[in-house]
């Protein structure tokens, strides 16, 4: 007998099947995606991804050199749900407002509960060790320096959807603090719960870049 499927497996498979039911040519035009007969291609949090047009499976490219072709690695749950939610569930006329707020203060979530105070505690503790390395990691992911923040950047979640990451290191009076600032129209692109998958993936990618960086 094979391994029993988890709820995560089932949710991912449902998303992949939903993708197959949508008009892929319309997706390509809407988000100006590169595509061929086999795959759709896009960037997500600093990596190149491809979506299989026949089964909806998503892979990212592990390659370290332009001389090497696409070296596929299966995308995880957060990546898959985030990418397919945007491609399949975004509004027809989605566009950015240019105004940024925390996720609970966007125009469509102003009465939502704010994220719990300890939600990012482990990352805040880790990032507090070296804000210079944190800033370099943000820029390695395609981020452009922003202010305020001891480390901050406008990050391209997708080429067409940015988020602003802000971090303040701890001092005698205040603990380390991080914030994500989203465009007011973000929920025209993805669902509220999907934004948390995106934030979780961004934090994992930042930590990964910091760990790989040469001291």
DSSP string, 79-111: HHHHHHHHHHHS-TT----S-EE-GGGSTT-TT
Is residue 95 a part of any domain in this protein? no
pLDDT of residue 2: 60
**Rounded CA gap, 72 and 59, in Å?**
6
Residues 80 and 107 in one domain: no
Is residue 1 a part of any domain in this protein? no
Residues 116 and 50 in one domain: no
End-to-end CA gap in the chain: 47
Whether residue 185 has pLDDT greater than 70: yes
Number of domains in the chain: 2
Residues 110 and 80 in one domain: no
Residues 140 and 198 in one domain: yes
Residue by residue, DSSP assigns 183-209 as ETTGGGTS-HHHHHHHHHHHHHHHHHH
Is residue 105 a part of any domain in this protein? yes
Cut 0.95: pTM above it: no
Whether residue 5 has pLDDT greater than 90: no
Q: Could you tell me which residues are beta bridge partners of residue 163?
A: 155, 182
Residues 104 and 176 in one domain: yes
Residues 38 and 134 in one domain: no
Structural domain for 79, as ranges: 7-89
Q: What digits encode the pLDDT tens for the residues 70-123?
A: 999 999 999 999 999 999 999 999 999 999 999 988 876 654 555 555 688 999
pLDDT of residue 153: 98
pLDDT of residue 112: 53
Which of 39, 67, 89 is at the close of a domain? Answer: 89
Residues 111 and 78 in one domain: no
Which of 56, 89, 122 is at the close of a domain? Answer: 89
Residues 141 and 207 in one domain: yes
Residues 111 and 200 in one domain: yes
Residues 105 and 208 in one domain: yes
pLDDT of residue 119: 80
Residues 107 and 77 in one domain: no
Residues 127 and 195 in one domain: yes
**Residue 87 near residue 158, CB atoms below 8 Å:** no
Average pLDDT value for the chain: 92
């Amino acid at each position: 007998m094979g391994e029993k499927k988890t709820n995560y497996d089932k949710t991912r498979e449902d998303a992949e099947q939903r993708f197959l039911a949508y008009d892929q040519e319309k997706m390509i035009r809407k988000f100006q995606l590169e595509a061929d007969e086999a795959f759709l291609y896009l960037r997500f949090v600093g990596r190149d991804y491809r979506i299989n047009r026949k089964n909806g499976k998503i892979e990212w490219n592990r390659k370290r050199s332009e001389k090497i072709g696409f070296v596929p690695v299966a995308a995880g749950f957060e990546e898959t749900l985030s990418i397919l939610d945007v491609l399949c569930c975004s509004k027809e006329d989605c566009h950015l407002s240019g105004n940024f707020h925390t996720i609970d203060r966007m125009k469509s979530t102003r009465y939502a509960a704010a994220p719990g105070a300890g939600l990012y505690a482990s990352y805040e503790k880790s990032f507090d060790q070296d804000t210079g390395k944190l800033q370099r990691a943000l820029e390695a992911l395609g981020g452009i320096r922003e202010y305020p923040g001891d480390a901050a950047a406008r990050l391209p979640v997708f080429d067409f959807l940015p988020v602003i990451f802000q971090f303040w290191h701890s001092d005698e009076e205040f603990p380390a603090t991080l914030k994500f600032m989203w465009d007011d129209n973000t929920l025209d692109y993805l669902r509220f719960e999907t934004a948390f998958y995106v934030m979780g993936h961004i934090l994992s990618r930042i930590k990964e870049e910091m760990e790989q960086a040469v001291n």
